[in-house]
Structures are given as structure tokens and as C-alpha cells.
Amino acid sequence: MKKLFILTTLAAFMLAPNTQFAQSKRKKNKKTEAVTPPEKKPEVTIKDYDKVITKGAITDDGLFKVHKVDKKYYFEIPNRLLDKDMLLVSRISKLPSNLGGGYVNAGSETNEQLIVWQRFQDKILIKLKSYNAVANDSLPISISVKNNNYEPTLFAFDIAAFSKDSANTVIDVTKFYGTDVKAISGLSASMRETYKVKGMDDSRSFITTMKTFPMNIEVIQDFTYNASKPPVQEDTETISMQMNQSMILLPEKLMQPRLADPRVGWFTMSQYDYGSEELKSDQKTYIRRWRLEPKDPVAYAKGELVEPIKPIVYYIDPATPEKLRKYIRQGIEEWQKPFETAGFKNAIIAKDAPTKEEDPEFSPEDIRYSVIRYVASTTRNAVGPSVSDPRTGEIIESDVIWYHNHLRSYRNRYLLETGAANPSARTLNTSDEEMGEMMRFVIAHEVGHALGFPHNMGASCAYDTESYRDGAFTQKNGIAASLMDYARFNYIAQPGDKGVRFIRQMGPYDHYALNWGYRVIPNSVSPESEVATLDKWILEKAGDPMYKFGKQSSSFDPSSQTEDIGNNSMRASSYGLKNLEYVAAHLSEWTSDVTNNYEDLSELYDELLSVWSRYVGHVVTNVGGVYEDTKKPIQTGVVYTVTPKAQQQEAMKWLQANAFTSPTWLVNLKTLKNIDYAGYTERFRNLQARHLNSVLSFERIGRLMDAEILGATNYSALNLLSELRKGIWKEASAATPVTIYRRNLQRAYIERMEYLMKEEIKPSRSGEFYNVAQSDVRALVRGELTALKSVLATARNSAATTETKYHYADCIERISLILDPKS
């Protein structure tokens, strides 16, 4: 029994806690190490619906229910709309003057993002979605496409509650819309840097309104930022602006896309299709266009004019001056005739914006409405942006922006470019009818952009230059084959030409291109099934310059230039300069003599110099020019053709005779002595040097070197350099005085040749690049400078004036330092 007791006692001792030891150990630990309490994680609690959306909530029902509870805003999202494609568009609603340098205005879009609302555990996420890479969901590769194109999360919301029937999810969106979320901000990174923006001031920033409609939600934010260098009122160190955030549900039924063709000009969007049978991802490019579907497909298929199910409607901004509204309406509906060519009647309609009484919720920023916005701004411009579905290219909304001062630009150019042949343009008070006609077609041009058309700079080359002096021809055909060209006025017509049209109008290309993009092709089941018909339409017009598309991005094609008219740049610019000389002689008579001040004279003289420069630039493009005629392999001929040698030589002679001479008529001293105290020669030196540098560009010389291998009879780089040198320095061979203008030009020539000797080419926007150091450039330039130095050494001794002698001596020194820097 004793043994049992001892074992029992020992077992009890071993099993019992050693209180004294444990306490001692705890005391020791307290002295040697701090105990870190576990981090308390915030609890995410989903509350009952009634505790979140209380009886005091103000509710608006639409795409989502929007609730305002005290100072908080909630979205109640139907679960059926989770994972549905929506477009989030951010626009500026109100802004301080000069924000962004003048080209940012009320209505300017700052971002456009395809989003989906997704549930993840106890959160709702806004995920950005991209259709740049696609594959049919039924294909195995679609898994890889998704894995390698993972979309970013724009924002995450805690789920606040579920509706009582669990069909909807409630989230608090106050922070998303009420704080400075960069992805939907009106201030870009560059603006924040320029204006030294420190951050948003929460105490002066708030959500103004939040409205929901059947297909969209509109939110207006009023934000104030602390900024050290705001664009106006710097002492306030404040930028205040209003933003409009539009979110619209994209169509469940996708519009059938139409494949783009570079032979017809359209704004486009591209996708990489990884489900293609090709050996690489197949890039598919679609045009951007509105969804127009005939109400009566049977009648439409028979060739009858049919109204669309949903026409394109533009509202005229209520801020528009009353006298201008009819011209804006005309500009919008100018496109009705081309739409009729495509089989639709009443396809595009202009309406006055509803009054507050008619529709108190109407807003120009509402993405449901397309508006011609009239902006109180000193900027002289107009633009026609649009919002499109990134899945198909369907345009769903657009706002054309008209800046208030833009008509002044047109009045000035009307006077300068047509005043010689057009007596009604010789005034600062151009008639309302003429200004309205100009505005009508500027609006039509911008609406053209909003319909999907880019600039077609080839359209102004479709007509023979002499036709612009023919009244009957210009009244019928206008001054370009497309309204989408930058061909604003007929500057070719001469004094005495009768019945000539001076202002642009719609052209045959506009009808052709609109039909190509908008005509519904019966029985087409896919974009690919339309290609044969679309090709046929293009081939029917191939070879006719009236239906050619010329890219604005071309810097080398003489037939695709901005602001030019006619098919011969030298002849057109000669007519233009002849008219401009007449205008220069009468400019004071038409301006300061009438107004008794020099403000308009000064402004118009500066613009006159710009007009002269444009005419010169049109000719420069012919030197080293290459014609681009986009084709498919089944068509005859090549895409790129070097400008004929005779044409380039004609251009060089024209430049020597008109651009690089002393401009006695252009530097009008009567005008200059009334608008400036100095800088008379510098104004023209700058213009001449600009064009000289353009002629002597790496890109142009590179194209001429390439032309040598294309044919021995082509104009060469040596031809250019040799002819230019002889013309620029002709006084040295003739032993005649060199005027101050020519001395300036000749020094500019030496500086440019030094640039060609020492600098390296930088890739241009067209992607041209070659290794200058290993090309002929340096050798050719060295040879020309050596020849010039020899000519000047002789000419210096027989110089007609002291200024000329000193000038030649200086030029010889400059050349020596280029050829032998160590001398």
C-alpha cells in the first residue's frame, strides 16, 4: 500500500502545474522581451438592409438604385448586372480659364474606360477590361488570353448590405466619387506637375449630384485642389473644377463590326484575335461608326430610302448665340444627303436642347445625348471627338466642341486668302451670311469626325489647279473632293474671275466613304462576309483622284498636304502669292484706316506671314517627294512612286524665285513701322530659315538617296545640294551686292550644312531612319562646302559693297571651322 501511495502521489505531483515555476518564468519574460499583441483586423460586417438604407434615404431608381443617406452615397447593384460590360467616361464640366493651355474646355473628355463590376468574397470590385486581345470562349487558348491580359482593379468596395430579396448588392461609393481617384480625375499627371498640385482639399470638395437613368448613371463632382501655380489667380493657390462621370451599360447585342480598309479613311480600333488559324495572332481592325439599322429591311434591300430605327441626334447647346443656331443646324444636317447615298433618310437630325421646363434633367454631359457644345474660350478651334464601344467600334455618343473665337480665324483667312479676287472679303465686318456659311461647313467637318471620318488630305489634289478659276466648276464641285480635307478657301481664283465659289462644301468622296461604311450589306453574317462587297466598291472608284484617301500623317506625299488646293503646288502657290501681294498692299486700307487703331493690322500681318509660309511649304514637299497610293496586291501599279525629276526641279526653281529671294513686297515697311519698333529682318529670316532647313533635312536627303537605286533618271541628293548652293549663293558668281535678307539666309545655309555634318538623324514620326555617318550625306555636304569656299574666296576680292566683302570673309571662316575644326 505504501508503494501505491508513493506512485500515486508522484503521479499527482507530475501532473499538477508547477505554479511557482510558471510564475517565475512569466516574471522573467516580462523583464527580457515585450509581448506584441496580435494585430486586430478590421471586421467587415454586412449589415441588414434597413440599417444601411434607412428611412431617411433619398432614392433614385435607374440602372442601379442610387441612395443618399446623410452625406453618404450608395449604389444598389442588381446582381444580374455584375460582370456586364459598361463604359466609364470622365469629362470636365466646369473649369478655370486657361487650364491645359486653352485646348481643355467644358465637355473635354479626360478618360474612357471599359469596366465590369465583379463580386470577390465580401467585396465588389471595379475591374478595367480590355478587348485588345480576344479569343472565342470555346477555344482552349482563351484561357491563356485571360491569364496574360489580367485586368487591373480600379477600386474595391466592402459590401454594405444585400437587398431583402438578395437580388441586389449595396456598396458605399462616397469615397470613390468623393476623393481624388487618379483614373477618373480631370487633372492629368502633366497638369499636376505644371500647376504644382499638392492634393485635393477635402473640406472644399464634394459630390454635387448623382442621378441614375435606365441605361446610365451621371455623377457631378466639385473638386478643389491646393496648387502652388494655378493657371489663374495664383495668389489663391487653388484650382476648382467640376467633373462629370458617366457610366453607361453597353449593348448586350453587339453591333456587327466592319473591317477597315486603308484605302478608305476611317477612325479605327484594333484587336488581336488569338483564335485565328493564322500562325500568329491575327490583328483585326474595325471602323468606328454609329449603329444604323433600317426600320424596313425589305424596302432597304430593294434600294428604297428607309429611316433608321434609331437616328443620330445632335442637340444644340443652349449657350449658343441665337444668330448662329441655324448654321449649326445646317452643318449637322449637311450629312443627310450622304446618308441618303447609303440608303437612309433622316439619319442625322439637329434639335434644340430642351429647356429646364421641358426636361429639368437634361445635361450636355449626360452620355445619352450628343451635343454641339459652344465654349466661351479665346481658343480658335473646333473639334469632333466621340465615344465608342471598344468591343465593336460602335459610336454611342459624341460632343462637337466649338470655341467662341474660332470664327475670327475664318474671317482673317477669308480676307487674306480670297481678298484679292473677292471684294466681299475685304473687310473686318464680314457679313453674317458669309460667316454663317463658313461656320456651317466647319460644323459639318467636325460632325464628319464624329461620324468616324479622319482628315482626307488627298481630296484637295483631286481637281486641276486651273479649275479653281472656273465659276461653274467651283459652284458644282467646291474646292476639294471631301469636306474632311483642310481646304478652307479658294486662294487660287484671281481678280476678274466670275462666279467663283470661295468657301468649301461637301464633296463626292464624302458620299462614297459614308456609303462604304454605313450601307447595310444584306445577308452578311460576319465582318469577313462583307469584304468582297466592300472591295468591289473600292475597285469601282480606283484610279479616280476624287475617291482617293490621303493620310494626314504623310509628310512626304505632295498630293496629301494640309491647307493646300489643286494638283500642282507650284502653280497653286504662285496664284496664292500673287493674291497675297495684292492683299499686303491694301491691308492698312482694309483695317487700320477703318478702325483708327493698329490691333487688327498687327494680327492680320502676322497671319499673312503664316499664309505665305504655308504656300511655300506646299512646294517644299515636292522636293524628295513620294506619292502614296494605297493598293491591294490584285491592283496594278505600286504603292509608292518617286516624284518625277522634272517636277522636283520645277519646285527647286520656284523656291529660289519665291521663297529664297529678298521679300520686298512682303516686308511691308508701311505696315511694320506702325506695329513694331524692331525685328523687321528677323521676322523673315526666321521664315526663310525654317523652309531652308526643311529642304535640307536628313529625311528628305535620305529619300533622294533611296531614289537613286530606283532609277538613274531620278532627282538625286547631289542634284538637290548642287542646285540649292548655286541658287542661294548666286550673287557670288555674278559679283552683285548681297542684301541683308540674303546675307541672313546664306548664314542660315552654312549653319544648316554644319548641322548635316555633325548631327545624327533622329527617327521621325513616319519611322524613317538611316545611319548618316555611313551614308553619302557627310561626303556630299563636305564637297558642297568645299566648292562654296572656293567660290567665295574669289568673290570676296570683287565684292560690290563693304558689307558683302565682310560677309564673304565671315562665311569663309565659318566654312573653314566646319571642314577643319582644328584650324
Dist. CA 76–CA 79, nearest whole Å: 9
Q: What is the mean pLDDT of the chain?
A: 89
pLDDT band for position 727 (cuts 50, 70, 90): very high
409's grid cell: 480665324
* Confidence at residue 378, expressed as pLDDT on a 0 to 100 scale: 67
Question: What is the residue type of 518?
Answer: Y
pLDDT in tens, 326-339: 999 999 999 999 99
Give yes or no for residue 142 having a pLDDT over 90: no
How much of the chain is in helix, strand and coil states, percent to nearest 5? Answer: 40, 20, 40
* Confidence at residue 101, expressed as pLDDT on a 0 to 100 scale: 76
pLDDT in tens, 533-585: 999 999 999 999 999 999 987 889 999 999 999 999 999 999 999 999 999 99
Q: In this structure, are strands 109-120 and 86-94 parallel, antiparallel, or unpaired?
A: antiparallel
Residues 6+ positions from 475 with CB-CB distance below 8 Å? 499, 500, 501
What does the DSSP assignment read for 475-511?
Answer: HHHTTSS-TTSS--B--S--TT--S---B----HHHH
Give yes or no for residue 13 having a pLDDT over 70: no
Give yes or no for residue 314 having a pLDDT over 60: yes
SS3 208: strand
Residues 6+ positions from 530 with CB-CB distance below 8 Å? 258, 259, 521, 524
pLDDT in tens, 607-646: 999 999 999 999 999 999 999 999 999 999 999 999 999 9
SS3 364: coil
630's grid cell: 494605297
* Confidence at residue 235, expressed as pLDDT on a 0 to 100 scale: 86
Whole-number percent of the chain with pLDDT over 70: 89
Nearest Cα residue to 553 out of 631, 471, 458: 458
Q: How many CA atoms lie within 13 A of 22 on its CB side?
A: 4
Which residues partner with 219 through β-bridges? 210, 245
Dist. CA 497–CA 689, nearest whole Å: 35
Q: How many residues does the chain have?
A: 823
